[in-house]
Amino acid sequence: MKRAISIGFALVFVAVLVSGAMAFGPGYGMGNGMMAGNLTPEQAQKFAQFQKDILPLRQKMLQLKTELMILRTQATPDWNAIAAKQKEMVDVRTEIQKKASEAGITNLGPGLCRGGKGMGMIGMGRMGM
């Protein structure tokens, strides 16, 4: 039974990581400030490098979201573990923001961590999930 659960979790985890990696494409996660088609080649190259640099952080965020979902769906949720996982997610978001600042990327707008859908976490003044 434990082995089946472990295999199931591993399959879900891999599927989440693969779907997140495959979602990277033109325009993915650029937010309002970068979606305009008036980027210079230099700006486009800088942003492409930024996306490449934060890919491990985005994958980590997907992993943390999956783990948080699993923690929340337990019969008796461990609220301390949930709080710790949420703090890890905030730390990853902060790291993405730092990398954006270091790369000179400004005006990211909503969607950097959510693939351009809905109210994003960066630039919106909230810590949603």
Give per-residue pLDDT as tens, 2-53. Answer: 777 867 776 676 666 656 555 544 444 444 444 446 778 888 888 889 999 9
112 occurs within a structural domain: no
Is residue 116 a part of any domain in this protein?
no
CATH of the domain at 40: 1.20.120
Domain that holds residue 74: 2-103
- Closest by CA to 114, choosing from 100, 127, 95, is 127
Identify whether 35 is part of a domain: yes
pLDDT in tens, 71-129: 999 999 999 999 999 999 999 999 999 999 888 887 655 554 444 444 444 444 444 43
**Which of helix, strand or coil describes residue 123?**
coil
Domain assignment present for 118: no
Report the domain count for the chain: 1
For 119: left if phi > 0, alpha if psi spans -120 to 50, otherwise beta; the answer is beta
Let me know if residue 91 belongs to a domain: yes
pTM passes above 0.75: no
Single-letter residue type at 29: G
